[in-house]
Amino acid sequence: MLSLGVNIDHVATVRQARRAVEPDPVAAAVLAELGGADGITAHLREDRRHIQDRDVRLLRQMVRTHLNLEMACTEEMVALALAIQPDYVTLVPERREEVTTEGGLDVAGQQPRITQAVLTLQAAGIPVSLFIDPDAPQLLAAQASGAKFIELHTGRYAEAKGEAQQAQTLTQLENATAKAQALGLRVNAGHGLTYWNVGPIARILGIEELNIGHSIMARAMLVGMERAVREMKEAMFGRLERDGLFKIRSR
């Protein structure tokens, strides 16, 4: 069964805008689980722009589903993950100037460093996922690294202009999923997915989990966290689309 990982970073973004104590992303994670989240995702960035070390430590204690720690492939972050022991780690690219993650990790171009991080983490019992674009060289490099999972970057699909381009990017994701499975990799996906565009991605056979943050957090500000999470799961399986609440729209 396809599962939903809810990314709570933007709750911390609101908190850090005022350097305040609320809203608390740990409380948001609890409510997301009550709404049906199958996992909680948090990205501890090197510049600590949203999620803080304190958040990750408390999330490790409070999360009852599974905790996915997104992080850069650095010695500092590997050491922190070893100390906290999340259920799994997703290695992602980071650039200080970016608003959000702009693309997949260049595993092929950083093979030795990424492979060493994967080996270190997995030797400690922490499975590793690599956030990559749906491109053949990156899939092969991910397999060579020894990672258990990949997370396919769905940004091209989310930003596609018109039905033809959306269909093309969807086919790329379908082909990448099939190739990854043939290589022995387990497949997750995420980035830019919304209530309106998630349906076709959710129907790709072989994808195990979708990680979604911004769209759920934006809706949660209006209708509450539990309802926002429930509605995303319904959108994933087509129930909201059938009810006419969230129709898939092309750009």
Task: Decide if 225 contacts 187 (C-beta within 8 A).
Answer: no
What's the pTM? 0.92
Helix spans in 183-238 (H): 198-202, 214-223, 225-236
| CB 227, CB 192: distance < 8 Å | no
pLDDT in tens, 208-247: 999 999 999 999 999 999 999 999 999 998 765 555 554 5
pLDDT band at 249 (very low <50, low <70, confident <90, very high): very low
Per-residue CA distances from 235 to 72, 162, 191, 216, 230 (Å): 30, 21, 16, 11, 9
Give catalytic residue positions: 43, 70, 191
The encoded tokens of residue 63 equal 């999360």
Confidence band of 248 (pLDDT split at 50, 70, 90): very low
Mean pLDDT of 152-156: 97
Cα-flanking dihedrals φ and ψ of residue 235, to 5°?
-65, -40
8 Å CB contact between 193 and 158: yes
Which three-class secondary structure state does DSSP give residue 72? Answer: coil
All structural domains of the chain, each given as residue ranges with its CATH number in brackets, are 3-243 (3.20.20.70)
Q: Would you say residue 250 has pLDDT above 60?
A: no
